[in-house]
């Protein structure tokens, strides 16, 4: 069974901020398009294999790696909720604070 995907407002904001950063830095949206496709491909895999991400120690929250980013999601019986897209080069304590 393929699960439905639901994005939180925070995750949508994260994705938008990431793309805006790369568009401004590179003066083109080519990298953002490639990165967005990587996110989509990873989410398709999650829909089929939701337990593939690394389990955190709280509330069935999992992490899936996409380049330098962590796709933070929660797996439920009929859907997957994308909680955040986190740049893994940041302090991990901030991530813990954000998802609690």
Entry pTM: 0.89
* Tens-digit pLDDT profile for residues 20-41: 999 999 999 999 999 999 999 9
* Tens-digit pLDDT profile for residues 44-63: 999 999 999 999 877 789 99
CATH for 4-99 (3.30.2310.20, 1.10.490.10, 3.40.50.150, 3.40.50.720): 3.30.2310.20
Distance CA 31, CA 10 (A): 22
Q: What are the residue boundaries of the structural domains of the chain, listed by start?
A: 4-99
Question: Do you know the residue count of the chain?
Answer: 100
Going by pLDDT thresholds of 50, 70 and 90, the confidence category of residue 97 is confident
Beta strands (DSSP E) in 1-100 are 4-7, 54-55, 61-66, 69-75, 79-87
pLDDT for res 100: 67
pLDDT for res 75: 92
Rg (CA), the chain: 13
């Amino acid at each position: 069974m393929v699960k439905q995907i639901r994005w939180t407002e925070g995750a949508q904001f994260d994705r938008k901020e990431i793309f805006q950063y790369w568009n401004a830095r590179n003066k083109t949206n080519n990298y953002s398009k490639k990165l967005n496709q990587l996110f989509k491909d990873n989410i398709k895999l999650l829909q089929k294999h939701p337990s593939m991400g690394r389990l955190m120690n709280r509330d069935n929250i999992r992490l899936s790696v996409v380049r330098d980013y962590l796709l933070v999601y929660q797996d439920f019986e009929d859907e997957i909720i994308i909680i955040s897209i986190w740049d893994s080069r940041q302090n991990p304590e901030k991530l813990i604070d954000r998802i609690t």
